[in-house]
Structure 1
Amino acid sequence: MNEVWKKPPVSFDAYQAMVGKEIGVSSWHLVDQARINLYADVIEDHQFIHVDPERAKKETAYGTTVAHGFLTMSLLSIMSYEVMPVIEGTTMGVNYGFDRLRFMSPVRAGSRVRGRFTLLEATLRKPKELQSRTNVTVEIEGEPKPALVANWLGLIYFA
C-alpha cells in the first residue's frame, strides 16, 4: 500500500481549523516523455506538441514537447494524497469539480511539478457530507509561473 494512504486521520475540528491556511506542498513529480505518451494513449490525443519531440522542437516556441494540461491536472490526485489530511470517520471523498481552473504555463517534457494546497472552505452540506474548496497551485521546478491554478471542490462523506 502506498505510504500516502497511511497518514493518521485528523479530527473534524482540526480540519475546520485549517481553513484559510496552507496545508502543505507535495513532493516533486517528473513529467517525462514516457508519462506524456502514456497519457496521450489513454485520452487518444496524439497531437505532435505532446508526442513528437523533433517536430515540437522545430515547430513550437517550447523547444520540446509539452504535457497535456489535463495530465498536469490529473497529477493533483497523487499530490493531494501526499498533503491533504484525512478526516476521522471519512468513508470516501469524491471530486466535485473546479472553480477557475487555469493553465498558466506549459509543462515541458522532463520537468518536475509539485502541488501547493491551501484549504479555503470546509462546509457541512448535510450532516454526513462536507464540501471542501482547496486552492491549488501546480509549480514547475525552476519556472517563475505555475503550470496551473485552481479552486478544487471536493465532497467528503462520513459514516
Structure 2
Amino acid sequence: MDFPMPMLTVSKAAKVFQVSRPTLQRALKNGTISGEKSVEGGVEVWQIDTAELARVYKIRRSEADSLPRQKIEIGSGRDTSKIGDHSDLSGDVVKQLQAKLQAVQDELTAALAVSEERKRMIDEYVRSLPKPAAEEQARRGFWARLMKR
C-alpha cells in the first residue's frame, strides 16, 4: 500500500530541515532532490516530498512536530486482553528470570556505590590542590600586576 507523503514548499522545507533556501533550490536544479513545480497566482512554486528531503537532509525536531500527520491503521484488531498474562511460562523459567533480574540489580547497585565513592575521592583531591597562581594574581590590582609587586 502506497501512502502519499506531505509536500512542502521550499521555504517550509528550509525551516523543517535546517537548510537554506538557495541550497534547496540548487539541489532541485542539479537533481540531488526532486520536486514538482506548480504555478500558484502566476508564480512558480516548488513542492518537495518530505520523504525526498529526508533522504538527503536531517530533519529538525521542533519543526517536525508541525508536519501534517497521517493516521495509518496496520493489521486487524488484535486481542490485547492477555498481554500481561504469563501463565504459559513455567514456574522455573519465571524463577530463573527473577534471579537474573536480581543479579543485574545487585551489580547496578554495586557499580553505583563505586561510582559515588570515586566521585567523593575526586572531589576531595580537587579541594586539596593548591589554588593556581593565576587566581592569586587576579586578586591583586592592575598596577601591582603591572609593576610585578
State the TM bucket, normalised to the shorter chain. under 0.3
The structure with the largest helix share of the pair is 2
The structure with the largest strand share of the pair is 1
Q: What is the TM-score with the length of structure 1 in the denominator?
A: 0.22
Q: What is the TM-score with the length of structure 2 in the denominator?
A: 0.23
Structure with more relative contact order (C-alpha pairs < 8 Å, separation 6 or more):
1
